[in-house]
Structure 1
Amino acid sequence: MSLSTVDKIVLVVGLVDFAGLFIIIGILLHLAYTKMDLMLDHLQNSPAVMIRAPFRNGGPWGNLFLIGAIMGVMTTPRLYLRDGGACAEDLKHFPADLKRKLVILQWIGWGLLLVMFGIVAAAKFEII
């Protein structure tokens, strides 16, 4: 059985996409285990994060859940400020380099998920 050029391209894109998602999860776990104290110290007055802080002791899944909440606050602060889930002072004093990393990782993750769903949809509707 021989793969066509299109099949090879889709396979490579799918494998790179899948590997990218695992790399992002690895980076997020590294940040969760090394920088979580710093992040929680800077978000002490943000209920959307502090209500999830006990999940920190829940192993890797709990840490991913907590860092996901922090990433959500950093990526869409207006949403959380409007409903009182975040404190403006906390967001202002959060380290800029860490905030940038979290926002970039979130958008890259969404992009990779979008590519993955695109490949699945294209295969399902027999576009490729």
Structure 2
Amino acid sequence: MSISTADKILLCVGLIDFVGIFIIIGISLHLAYTKMDVMLNHLQNCPAVMIRAPLRNGGPWGNMFLLGAIMGVMTTPRLYLRDGGASAEDLKNFPAVLRRKLIVLQWTGWGFLLVMFGLVAAAELELV
């Protein structure tokens, strides 16, 4: 029994996506455990982040949740500035390299998740 070309493509895209998601999780955990002090020190006046700061002691899940809050503030600062969840001064003083890493990580994760949902939808609709 041989696999069709469409099935091979679907398998390759699925494997790349699955591995990519695990790489994103690994990079996120690395940032959460190595750069969390720097991030929290630069966001002292951001209530959206500081209210979640005690989760830092909650193990990997707490660190990931806190990192997700920080990534949300970095990715959509206008939303947080409008409702008072972030401080403009803190966002301005945040290290640019770390900000760029967080934003790229957030959008890459969303991209991998979107591809995964697309693969599931294609399999359910039997398009492939």
Q: Structure 2-normalised TM-score? A: 0.99
Aligned residues: 128
Q: Note the residue ranges of structure 2 that are not aligned, 5 or more in a row.
A: none
Partner of 2:82: 82
Q: Which runs of 4+ in 1 moved over 2 A?
A: none
The structural deviation recorded for 1:2 is 2.0
Gaps (5+ residues) in structure 1? none
Indicate yes or no: 2:102 matched with 1:102: yes
Q: What percent of counterpart residues are identical?
A: 79
Q: Distance between the aligned counterparts of 2:59 and 2:12, measured in 1?
A: 32
CA deviations over 1:57-80 (Å, ceiling 9, x no partner): 010010000000000000000000
Q: Which amino acid aligns with 1:27?
A: I
Are residues 1:27 and 2:27 paired? Answer: yes
Deviations 1:74-126 (A, max 9, x none): 00000000000000000000000000000000000001100000000011111
Per-residue Cα deviation, 1:10-54 (whole angstroms, up to 9, x for no partner): 001001001000001100100010000000000000000000001
The offset of 1:3, in angstroms, is: 1.1
TM-score, normalised on structure 1? 0.99
The two structures, once aligned, show a CA RMSD in angstroms of: 0.5
Q: How does 1:66-81 map to 2 (within 5 A)?
A: 66-81=66-81
- Equivalences for residues 9-20 of structure 1 within 5 A: 9-20=9-20
